[in-house]
Amino acid sequence: MLILIAGPYRGGTNDDPELIKKNMDRLEAVALPIFRKGHVPIIGEWLALPLMHLAGSSQIGDAAWEEIQYPVAHRILERCDAVLRIPGTSAGADQDVALAHKWGLKVYYHLDEIPMANE
């Protein structure tokens, strides 16, 4: 499965770069375990951040950031089989989960719920 990892990136940080990094570290912490279960993990920021840079974004929340951040996650989600929603307040992650439910995708809330690829 292609699994979108959804959780706080900017949420709860007041745009503090150190707190954003900690949120990104939490998102990435589950990527390797998902891969080792035989799936492909994806985090929207892995694609959005370079695109925002190319678009000239100079700060979180500017026009280029708004143009790209959430639309990237939603476009990726259109191709995903499932979402892993990690804990924490995040309007964007909640949107991802709502879309996943609407589109009939599996939504997991804990890494242990994700089966091995051969199961």
Query: Tens of pLDDT along 80-115?
Result: 999 999 999 999 999 999 999 999 999 999 999 999
**Residue 3, pLDDT above cutoff 90:** yes
Domain count, the chain: 1
Does residue 117 sit within a domain? Answer: no
Identify the bridge partners of residue 96 per DSSP, sorted by sequence position.
none
CB 96 within 8 Å of CB 105: no
Domain that holds residue 79: 2-111
Residues 55, 68: contact at Cβ < 8 Å? yes
In the structure encoding, which two tokens stand for residue 47, read together?
């694609």
Residue 116 lies in a domain: no
- What's this model's pTM, rounded to 2 decimal places? 0.93
* H or E element at residue 90: none
CATH code of the domain containing 44: 3.40.50.10400
What CA–CA distance (Å, rounded) separates 13 from 59? Answer: 14
Q: Is residue 58 part of a domain?
A: yes
The rounded distance, in Å, linking the Cα atoms of 3 and 5 is 6
